[in-house]
Amino acid sequence: MNNRSVHGIHHNDDPKLLQMALSLLRDRQGCSRFRSSISGSVMSPSRSSPRKRPKERGSTHSKRLLVITLHGAVQPSWLSRFLSLLAQAGDVVQLRDLSSFTVGNRFTATLAVEVTPTQLRKRRSTETGTEAMSAESTSGSAPQSFGVGSPAEPGGTLSSTEAHIEHEFGIEGYLLREFLLTAYELGGIETEFEVLDSLEAESNAALEGDSGEPYTFTFIGTPRIPADFLATATHVLAENGINLNAIQSLNEPGGRSTCFQVMAALRGPLADRVRSELLHLGKEFLVDIAFERAGALRTKRMVVFDLSWTLVQADSFELLCQAAAVDADAVAEVRRCHSLGSEDYLRACAALLRGRSSTGLAERLHALIEYTDGAASVCRVLKKL
């Protein structure tokens, strides 16, 4: 059976649940208001890619994974509102993973929630701070629920449709009901709701991914990173069977360079091969690439650059000699007699500087320095990493 959606909610297990969600919103908000809040028909094909027919649900007492995806306009309170719904559900709900990103004024967030069905479920009241108990009946009658208020029913009393949803679908029905109504109250937020069975097998693959070590790739281009580079780089990762865990923009408003950070998990030999291929690709497209293992120590580090002709457009010792008023002919003689950058060259330059006054040297040197293109942008990006 094809997936169907209501108000952006996708559920590939029970189409009946979608019909109940529609009835719920009609009961609570009014059918005409609900219809005006979405585009197209009330029941529309899911935008998600086709999925395999779901397996039959396992035991009602086994752990399950709910994947809830939210799309909408950025609002200060959206995260706290939705997380408070998980807090109300009590200790039978655990947040396994949370990911969010913003593009312009639109956000997308995905919550992976582990649910443990139980005969006696505890929920916290957000208004009174007290805890209430609700027993999930197994005799066929809908349970009474406490501690969940709403604009339509301030006391928290469930409508018949809501009680039916929560009774028939348990904690998943409760979360669907609350997420639907909260998204409607906030306005402009779409919700995708999916229940996965076989939590141990499926959620481990979804949440833990590759068993390799986490790495980050940082791409820096001036002024822009070519689309050809990004297409080829992601193709290299795909050919090696690497899934991207996250892509983050490190761009500064009005900055002269573009920077993206890519996070993925790689095994040792694979990491060496991918690094070599990406560095070669970076040289071809003139994109600087930083490749490093992610982790707590990643924030504790020192970056070392060659100064001459890398950060500044000159030989650093010649600039220092010029600022110290060393005779230019003497500097030229040292350069003629010794290989540039050799130990003998460095010792000869140091000898020319011996005994010179350092008063005002820093100011004169700073006036002579001309930085290479992109040096300032690279330093700004490194400070953000």
Strands 244-249 and 131-135: unpaired
Query: Residue 202's Cα: distance from chain center in Å?
Result: 21
Per-residue confidence (pLDDT) for residue 227, from 0 to 100 = 92
**According to the model, what pLDDT value does residue 379 have?**
84
Mean pLDDT of 231-259: 86
Tell me the per-residue pLDDT of 102-158, one tens digit each, with 9 for 90 and over.
Answer: 888 888 999 988 887 653 344 443 443 444 334 343 334 433 333 333 333 433 455
User: From residue 263, how far is each of 45, 217, 237 by CA, in Å?
Assistant: 33, 6, 11
The pLDDT confidence band at residue 309, using thresholds 50, 70 and 90, is: confident
CB-based contact 35:75 (threshold 8 Å):
no
Residue appearing with tokens 């069905």: 117
| Residue 354 DSSP class | T
Which amino acid would we find at residue 162?
E
| Interaxial angle between packed helices 316-323 and 343-353, expressed in degrees from 0 to 180 and rounded to the nearest 10 | 10
Mean pLDDT across the chain: 71
Omega before residue 143 within 30° of 0, cis: no
Q: What count of other Cβ atoms lies within 10 Å of the Cβ of residue 167?
A: 19
Strand order in the sheet with 9-10: 9-10, 4-6, 43-45
The pLDDT > 90 percentage for the chain reads 14
CA 325 to chain centre: 53
Q: Which helix (H) or strand (E) holds 122?
A: strand 120-124
Q: Which of 38-47, 87-96, 160-169, 201-210 has the lowest mean pLDDT?
A: 38-47
Task: List domains and CATH numbers for the chain.
Answer: 4-206 (3.30.70.260), 212-298 (3.30.70.260), 316-369 (no CATH)
Higher local confidence (pLDDT), 27 or 187: 187
Instruction: Write the pLDDT tens digit of every residue in 349-378.
Output: 889 999 988 889 989 999 999 988 888 888
Mean pLDDT across 75-88: 86
Cβ-proximal residues to 250 (8 Å cutoff; 6+ apart), any chain: 218, 259, 260, 261, 381, 384, 385
The span from the CA of 88 to the CA of 76, in Å, is 20
Are the C-beta atoms of 19 and 50 separated by less than 8 Å? no
**pLDDT(67) > 80:** yes
pTM: 0.50
Confidence of residue 14 (pLDDT cuts 50, 70, 90): very low
Tokens standing for residue 358: 């350092």
Looking at residue 21, its pLDDT comes to 59
The yes-or-no verdict on residue 260 having pLDDT over 50 is yes
Q: 111 or 42: which carries more pLDDT confidence?
A: 111
